[in-house]
Structure 1
Amino acid sequence: MAMSKIERMAWRLRKGVQWLRLMLRRIGTPPECDVATSMDLCDDQIVAAILGRRPQFHSRLISSPARRVIGWGRKWSGRRAVALAARQGCGFLLLEDGFLRSLGRHDPPLSTALDDLGVHYDAGAPSRLETLITAPISACQRERTDKLIQLWRDARVSKYNAAPEYDGPLPANYILVVDQVRGDLSISCGGATAASFDAMLAAARAAHPDTDIVVKLHPDVFTNAAKSHFDPAQLQQYDRVHVIAENCHPVGLIAGAQAVYTVTSQLGFEALIWGKPVFTFGMPFYAGWGLTNDAQPRPDRRENVECAQLVHAALVTYVRYFDPVARKKCTAERAIAHVKLQRDMRRQLPAKIIGIGFSPWKRRFLKPFFAGSALRFATAVRAGESTAVWGNRLVSGNTMRVEDGFLRSVGLGAELTQPMSLVIDQTGIYYDATRPSDIETILNTQTLSAEQCARAQKLRRMIVASKMSKYNLVAGHWTRPQISQKVILVVGQVESDASLAFGSPEIRTNLGLLKRVRAMHPRAYIVFKPHPDVLAGLRDFGTDLGRYADHCDETLCQNVAPDQLFGQIDALHTMTSLMGFEALLRGVPVTCHGLPFYAGWGLTKDLVAAPHRTARLSLDGLVYGALITYPRYVDPKTGYFVQPEQILITLSEMLTLDSPNQTYHRLRRRLIRLGAQRKGRGK
């Protein structure tokens, strides 16, 4: 789309400022350094992480020699880098997208190819990839490559991975013919032309006269960003030719095909990974090695190799990978796992969802948790639409319920601290024991492998070692008194909390809980801990704290970190508080006076029966279901889905690093507390 006059002026201004900043940065750098012919490459954090340093910008105003000149492929910056390196007598490095590029086409790249000889898609000249393909691989490398091929298949990844799976009809047996956009450099650099596509289709039809042909158009065609080599209307005139006219993930099409025909598309390489016969009508990087059926003669530089050599070179040695969450280099396996997680999470919810009753603050952080679905906020819903609500709000129809996860944040939800974890329950909600929920189904039915149990155990140990809880507040200290009595911690809750209304049928007040615990343990030393929201002045407690003195020996009037308490108590009593779950992780005996999600599985002493919870769980089984399977975790900086292990790392960093951003959030929380306290005094 053409820019307006104002947009062009703004773009030129930004580029001018960028040029000035890069020139100032160049002053004082060593005379021989890596230089780039593109300003954007100089500013690219991913390039800096992959190369180990930021390249300086090349300018004719500074004539110092370069150690190496960096550009992008066969684009203008790449051609200039090669020419400049030749003039200066130094090396060059050309960058290109890797073969597992990203989630969406406009998302930051997960992989970048580095080539100091040429570019992989230019068959007319040598490339570093060609030399890597011909290199023999060791038994260890072969074993890794075999596992990588299986991982690629299991994860069902491709170059781009944001499109949905194709769900339309397909013939039982078919040949896949792959389109490409006009002007794709890999076509001309691969010795092909527009006529190659007509020849490809004709050859496929001639070789398989009794088999259906499926033509997959390129995704850019659907956005009008580029033109196809095929006319869909003309294709419809052929017998047994089907056109995929949607933007869809190509993996299912490859996996179901009897053979794949391509000119130079990367899908031919992916088809080799899937073990499919591949026919090429250009000379892409994966052709000419004896692995494909090629319409063109191969360059003299290429010789027969094994598929493992090709895959190892292309996915392991030629490409550098970048973890967008950890912000550092990573392995191919880690990059594939990242993409798999995004795709798995994006497929779990309906395609279209109407959000009902969410506050403006919640709307701001909700959308990343619903990635993969079109989430729209409204005040009403039509029959048949999928809806999302916060908590246990009564809404008829197909409703999913959203709540905070169990590893939430650094700071309270009532202080408007953005969560890193949410649960989206399509059956009920975890704190409502009056009806089924997804977590109850998960815990009742899951069968874990030894590897999954080991992962849950490791996660539990990470939580204990890092002293993590739901809110991770900066807190005071408490010391157990020097007494011989049994010390019992009684956990207070906000009495208006929905978990008490739907999960504690017998006792729903803190005073009632204390009276029962005192009656059960008349000689124990009972410590009462009010809810953090109450101590912060953000929620009403329900009763004056002074009324509890007759039923407990000590009330914690300042917030104390749960982990600091767990090591000093003998038991914990609760109605439905999450602290009971956190205590279980530390090996503390827990008595439940209600039915929280972790009760009824044989791990707690339960005073309320839960006949619908039939499974007997190990602690690690509870951890896997409640912390790995049930919640959704989102990295607050990137918006990507992450695993709970990464959230623990992020929370630990937030607790230890004192940044201006954290100072801002502390001040904001104090203002919110003051506002809540003033509002309470005004009642």
Structure 2
Amino acid sequence: MALARILANSGLSRCLFYWLVLMTGQNHNNQFSIKPMKKSYAVATQGILRNNRLLSAALGAQIRPMLERAWWQRANAEHFSPEAVLAWGQKKSAERAKRLADKLDLPLITVEDGFLRSLDSGTQSKYGASFVVDTQGVYFDLRTPNDLQALVYQTLVNWQAEHQKRAERLLDSIVKHRLSKYNAIIHAPDLNVLVNTFANERSSSQDNSLQGNFPQDNFPKAHTPNKDAAYHVLVIDQVAGDASITGAGASEQSFYQMLAAAMAAHPTAHIWIKAHPAGSAGALVAHGQLTHAAHEYLRSHVSDDAPARVRILADFANPLALMAQVNHIYTVSSHMGFEALLLGKTVHCFGVSWYSGFGLTDDDAIAQSALYQNVQAHHQILAKTFGLDNQAYAQASQNRTPSLAQLFYAAYVSYSHYANPATGKKCEIEDVVEYLRVNRAWQQKLYGDVLAFEFSRWKTGFVQGFAGFAFTNLMFKPKVVSRWEFVQKRDAKRMAKFIAQTSEQKYLVWGQKSKRTLQKVLANSAHSHAPIFCMEDGFIRSNGLGANLLAPLSVVLDDVGIYYDATKPSRLEEILQTITLDDAQNARAEKLRALMLAHRVSKYNVGARAVSWQAAGRTVRLVVGQVEDDASVQSCASLIRTNAALLARVRRDFPHDFIVYKPHPDVEAGLRRGKVDADTLALADVVAHDTPMPDCLAACDVVHTISSLTGFEALLRDVAVVCYGLPFYAGFGLTTDVADTDNPDKLAAQTRRARATPLTLNALIYGTLIEYALYHLPHGFGLATPEDVIDYLYLQAVREPEPSWATRQWRKAKSNFMRLRNFTKG
């Protein structure tokens, strides 16, 4: 490698340099060999770790800073023993990293943001989810070799049917959900609409830029270009002087030539420039306007009125949503060019990028450049090295150049490393795709000002984890608890005044009671129709009881109603009424079900005693107790609303069967209401006091419930369920629903839940646990998945040590407080 560097610096042929570097990374089987990731790395600056908190997890390595000027550097190096030094891209800090590597005589490895980074920009988020790691150079600098080039050809040689299927699945998902490097928004302005907006603004101003927040109506979910309208051409600007420009053998002159070529090739098209988000220093656009140099170039090389034809998009827009509307994309070296290829667009390159030169892009503008020719020569060396010029291989292979799927796989799968911000652990690209999809969807729903109304102070911490997105301004109006009427009136007046002074916003409440209170407050204000999201515990809650003030790992956010209220529609009801699953979703639902059963997941995951009863051949019926004053009982459209009445009804209907009564854990702990009197309790053959719910379900034949989540857990285990109310999983044909002809609320709910095709168990699982519920892990960043939470609960149960004496006393104090509060309510 040292010889290769000397030859390169001496001015010898760059092709020879490429060949020598390649030979140093070649093993005896003629396969390119990238050294496996080391277990320990050093960095020369604190910023790399401070701004990329998941880098260590993504690389699966220990990373420590070794500051260049620290006197203890050498001693620290001997103690730490790093095996390489990491440099971030080609920033100034990379020079310090190189000096450190030379001083310690260690290899230098370049790290950069990956292609699916985060929800927001790199300057805003420190939880980037993807990184590229290069032992030779970096993908955007084609002046020297990089690992991605060899990985492209290695991918081509090793390509199998399963790689093709995986690439296709990922490509479909990325395009469908419009995922890019930064994913703050999902929409883009409708260019056909903006053409008219631009024309109107031009008639009253010389400003040819479009900035500010476009109206929501201008962000169509799926744009269908009008065939009769003039087509659109997009020219992509980049930050002037960026390393990706010089690394592509280009300059600012290349941007002027690109814009002029686009206008000449498409004289009747609408020409748009997408300004870089750092729009104050673009090669073509600065501060929302064409730069003076670009303006004068167009006038001298195209026509005097050419600048007037150019329209500038200076605001943020989703790259894929924007490019879906155009016919041609012109780029120097932006990664948006590759994303345009994913959309099937024609891409014209005016710089040498990692994806050019494979026949997928129009390279006429750069084909004669020295850098392009050298890179092509390097590709030929790689093809020969990997045996792609072998006649037998050529006959067996349809093509000796990579397809779009193979290029994608090499860059996004083989070259990239991923970590899940929700778990802080190393992961696969599929996990990051799901993380970005879920979190951006909820960030869009909760965009702007959100007022959390009358939340208990202990809830504010975990609510932030579920709703505190980068573009959500989450404010809290704490709950005022007072029996004094004048205090309540004063608080109501302050709230009304606050609402009157605020702009349009969304609201967040805990439970239906708070929602009704808020609706009364908003009734006579301009916010009477503002969206209200109702938050409640989710379906996989915690290793402990909610009444003990344990923060939930799962909640639901419903902007229609709430899942347990059968008397009104809810978002979950709408999901289940319309849901259909594709093959991938069906497979995920089946895996999730298997995971829940394997880890014995229940809502609270409490209980210690094993099943000890003997039914002697009788049908075992499990009667599930609930908290009687809970809204899930009072609002489930059931005529039976007490545990005693439920137990008596089951014994009356099945006098000879073996009945097991399972009290609710909060009731059994004395924290909530619902205790059954001794005479009624005697109707049961067994009372399962401290038996875990999974054990109870495994030992029964039928579950009887008013509206308990246990019925859903029973369905997962193929146990028959009889419902006396109408919980969220009832009314779709999966349960036996007790008929109540004189119950209009129940009949109305059953009518709403009617489907053209029966609801499958997989669809119920997917709609409830994946589409409807939200998940967040302690110390995680953003929303997690149900699979993440199940793994966390399982590991917590296996590894968590016995709580300390202080922790036990604190939990006991909280329980006693909840018992006292419950007593004073009576």
If the length of structure 2 is used for normalisation, what is the TM-score?
0.71
User: Does the aligned pair in 2 maintain the 1:113–1:320 contact within 8 Å?
Assistant: yes
CA distance in 2, matches of 1:630, 1:334: 18
Name 1:186's counterpart in structure 2.
244
- Asked whether the 8 Å contact 1:190–1:284 carries over to 2, the reply is yes
Cα shift readout 1:248-288 (whole Å, capped 9, x = no counterpart)? 22111122221112233221222233332223333333345
- The correspondence for 2:707, drawn from 566, 571, 576, is 576
2:300 matched to which residue of 1?
none
How far residue 538 of structure 1 moved from its aligned partner, in angstroms, is 1.7
Judge conservation of contact 2:542–2:551 (CA < 8 Å) in 1: yes
> Which among 151, 154, 175 is matched to residue 233 of structure 2?
175
Alignment match of 2:363 (pick from 280, 293, 298) = 293
**1:147-296 map, 5 Å:** 147-170=169-192, 172=225, 173-221=231-279, 229-231=284-286, 232-234=288-290, 238-290=307-359, 291-293=361-363, 295-296=365-366
How many angstroms does 1:468 deviate by?
0.8
The one-letter code sitting in structure 2 at the alignment partner of 1:390 is W
Query: Unpaired runs of 5+ in structure 1?
Result: 1-31
Indicate which of 772, 796, 800 corresponds to 1:630. Answer: 772
- How far apart, in 2, do the equivalents of 1:167 and 1:663 lie? 59
User: Which of 88, 94, 97 matches 2:110?
Assistant: 94
Go from structure 1 to structure 2 and tell me whether the alpha carbon gap of 1:618 and 1:49 turns closer, same or farther (over 3 Å shift).
closer
Is 2:418 the counterpart of 1:321? yes
Secondary structure of residue in 2 paired with 1:293: coil
Give the drift of 1:653.
Answer: 1.5
Aligned residue among 118, 138, 142 for 1:123: 142
Residue 207 of structure 1, CA deviation: 2.3
More displaced, 280-289 or 525-534? 280-289
Deviation at 1:563, TM superposition (A): 1.0
Q: Is the 8 A contact 1:409 1:472 kept in 2?
A: yes
Distance (whole Å) between structure 2 residues aligned to residue 134 and residue 553 of structure 1: 70
Question: Residue 124 of structure 1: CA displacement?
Answer: 3.1
Tell me how far apart the structure 1 counterparts of residues 694 and 315 of structure 2 sit (CA, whole Å): 52
**Residue 103 of structure 1 corresponds to which residue in structure 2?**
119
Determine if the alignment matches structure 1 residue 510 to structure 2 residue 652. no
Q: Tell me the alpha carbon deviations over residues 418-458 of structure 1, each in whole angstroms, 9 at most, x when there is no partner.
A: 22222222322221111222222222322334543443333
The answer as to whether partners of 2:40 and 2:82 remain within 8 angstroms in 1 is: yes
Look up the equivalent residue of 2:182 and give its one-letter code. Answer: Y
Cα deviation for residue 239 of structure 1 reads 3.4
Q: Is the 8 A contact 1:507 1:594 kept in 2?
A: yes
Task: Say if 2:142 and 2:375, in contact at 8 Å, map to a contact too.
Answer: no
1:73 Cα deviation after fit: 2.3
Once residues 411 and 426 of structure 1 are traced to their aligned partners in structure 2, the CA distance between those partners, rounded to angstroms, is: 28
Determine if contact 2:638/2:706 at 8 Å carries over to the other structure: no
2:621–2:657 CA contact under 8 A, matched in 1 = yes
What CA deviation, in whole Å up to 9, does each residue of 1:571-623 have, x standing for no partner? 32221111222222223332222221222223322224544132443433332
CA contact (8 A) 1:401 1:424 kept: yes
Structure 1 residue 414: Cα displacement: 1.6
Match of 2:62 among 47, 54, 62: 54
Q: Distance in 2 between matches of 1:656 and 1:474?
A: 15
Contact kept in structure 1, 2:420 and 2:432, CA below 8 Å: yes
Q: Distance in 2 between matches of 1:129 and 1:70?
A: 17
Q: Who is 2:34 aligned against?
A: none
Tell me if structure 1 keeps the 8 A contact 2:547–2:818: no
Cα deviation 1:79-113 (Å, max 9, x = unaligned):
34445556776532121222222232224222222
CA RMSD of aligned residues (A): 3.4
1:356 corresponds to which of 453, 458, 471 = 453
Partner of 1:617: 759
Q: What are the residue-to-residue correspondences of 1:430-509 with 2, within 5 Å?
A: 430-481=563-614, 483=616, 485-509=618-642
Please say if 1:339 is aligned against 2:436: yes
Cα displacement string for residues 261-318 of structure 1 (whole angstroms, at most 9, x for unaligned residues): 2233221222233332223333333345553335441514312754535434322333
Mapping for residues 349-388 of structure 1, pairs under 5 Å:
353-370=450-467, 371=469, 373-378=472-477, 379=495, 386-388=506-508
244-253 or 50-59, which deviates more: 50-59
Check whether the contact 2:178–2:186 (CA below 8 A) recurs between aligned residues: no
Whole-Å separation in 2 of the counterparts to 1:489 and 1:247: 56
| Alpha carbons of structure 1 residues 671 and 227: separation in structure 2 relative to 1, 3 Å | farther
Contact 1:491 1:529 in 2 (8 A): yes
Which secondary structure state, in structure 1, belongs to the residue aligned with residue 111 of structure 2? strand
Residues 472-520 of structure 1: CA deviation (Å, up to 9, x unaligned): 1243344214655544332222221112222144121222222222222
Counterparts of 2:575 and 2:430, CA distance in 1: 28
**2:562 alignment counterpart:** 429
Q: In the alignment, which residue of structure 2 is the partner of 1:9?
A: none
Number of equivalences: 647
The one-letter code matched in structure 2 to 1:239 is A
* Equivalent pair of 1:287/1:298 in contact (CA under 8 Å): no
Return the alpha-carbon distance in structure 1 between the equivalents of residues 129 and 765 of structure 2: 31
Letter in 2 for 1:637: H
Task: Name whichever structure is richer in helix by fraction.
Answer: 2
Contact 2:423 2:784 in 1 (8 A): no
**Kept in 2: contact 1:288–1:298 (CA 8 A):** no
| Residues 349 and 533 of structure 1: CA distance in aligned 2, closer, same or farther (over 3 Å) | same
Give the aligned partner of residue 25 of structure 1: none
Cα-to-partner distance string for 1:30-64 (whole Å, 9 max, x where unaligned)? xx975443355578764444544325655653486
Report what 1:22 is aligned to. none
Asked if the contact 2:423/2:781 (under 8 Å) is kept, the reply is no
Q: Deviations over 1:188-238 (max 9, x none)?
A: 3433334443333233222222111122122233xx7x6674143458994
Report what 1:389 is aligned to.
509
Q: Report what 1:559 is aligned to.
A: 690
For the 8 Å contact 1:50–1:320, the answer to whether it is kept is yes
Letter of the 2:74 partner, please give it. L
Give the counterpart letter for 1:38 in structure 2.
Answer: T
Tell me how far apart the structure 2 counterparts of residues 75 and 451 of structure 1 sit (CA, whole Å).
41
The whole-number CA distance in structure 1 between the counterparts of 2:277 and 2:663 is 56
Query: What amino acid sits opposite 1:102 in the alignment?
Result: S
Amino acid at match of 2:45: S
Read off the aligned partner of 2:157 and give its amino acid letter: I
Amino acid at match of 1:230: V
Q: Structure 1: how far apart are the matches of 2:176 and 2:362?
A: 23
| Structure 2 CA distance for aligned equivalents of residues 634 and 108 of structure 1 | 15
Per the normalisation by structure 1, the TM-score is 0.84
In the alignment, what sits opposite 1:602?
Answer: 733
Equivalent of residue 69 in structure 1, options 73, 85, 106 = 85
Deviates more, 1:262-271 or 1:602-611: 602-611
Native 8 Å contact 1:289 1:302 kept in 2:
no
**Cα displacement (A) at 1:650:** 1.7
Name structure 2 gaps, 5 residues minimum.
1-38, 196-224, 226-230, 296-304, 380-400, 478-494, 520-527, 741-746
Q: Is the 8 A contact 1:287 1:294 kept in 2?
A: no
